[in-house]
Amino acid sequence: MKSIKQIKSRLRWLIHVDSREWLNKYFAPYRRKKLLGTDFTIISNNCWAGHVYRRYGINYNTPTVGMYFFPEEYLKFISNLKENIDLPMTFIPASKSKHYQRLQELNQTNVPIAVLGDDIEIVMLHYHSEKEVNEKWNRRKKRINWVHLIVKCTMQNGMTMEQVKQFDELPFKHKIIFVPQKMDEIQSAIWYKSDCKDGQVWDDIINFNKYVNLKKLINSLY
């Protein structure tokens, strides 16, 4: 059973996000006019990409929305992105996941767990069925723009400093990673000063654009 604190936190999240989504309907056209282009792809380790696209009222030009990866799988996924994106997708029950204990803690044992290839697990948090996952994943991956590409990560779900360095060394021209403290040695790091605990960032979805200039980031692609 959830605690009163967890319930209050969830309610604050819903009010904040729901009001923002409502405002997007009215402000997205004006925001879009400030972009140099709208045909761009964001590959993200969590739901962050979806919030960016909705802010500008743009189709999801990526399959990585409404879901999240654990760090090891995400790094493997993006290390050979063009091939991994087309790996066959299967599904496992949460009880078979390498991260079952963490899924239990998060009360996420009833969401679809997709597996690309042999071992790249994806927690399909905001999907209701395997059929929905397959349809949307296959449709959206066809929209990927390999020229105008942003690869985003967040130091969370147990991501280590060594994994942050691995991400920073990947050969993507436009990449960012939200980190909980200043890291001058990490070229792609964006210091996320908000809700950070245990050396991790946790509210990059609630305040997805708080520490990054999205217009500048997107326009840097063109």
Domain borders along the chain are: 4-68+132-219
* The pLDDT value given to residue 155: 98
pLDDT digits (tens, 9 = 90+) for 121-140: 999 999 999 999 999 999 99
Class of residue 150 by CB neighbours under 10 A (exposed 0-12, middle 13-18, buried 19+): buried
* The pLDDT value given to residue 23: 86
pLDDT digits (tens, 9 = 90+) for 22-80: 889 999 999 999 999 999 999 999 999 999 999 999 999 999 999 999 999 999 999 99
* The pLDDT value given to residue 9: 60
Distances (CA, A) of 65 to 75, 123, 158, 222: 17, 11, 20, 23
Does the predicted TM-score (pTM) go above 0.85?
A: yes
In the predicted model, is pLDDT for residue 146 greater than 70?
yes
Distances (CA, A) of 22 to 28, 38, 90, 99, 158: 10, 21, 35, 34, 33
Q: pLDDT exceeding 70 applies to what percent of the chain?
A: 93
Cα–Cα dist 199/158, whole Å: 9
Cα–Cα dist 162/185, whole Å: 12
Cα–Cα dist 7/2, whole Å: 7
Q: Which range among 19-23, 77-81, 84-88, 150-154 shows the weakest confidence by mean pLDDT?
A: 19-23
Cα–Cα dist 212/222, whole Å: 18
- State the average pLDDT over residues 180-200: 94
- The mean of the pLDDT values for the chain is 93
Class of residue 45 by CB neighbours under 10 A (exposed 0-12, middle 13-18, buried 19+): buried
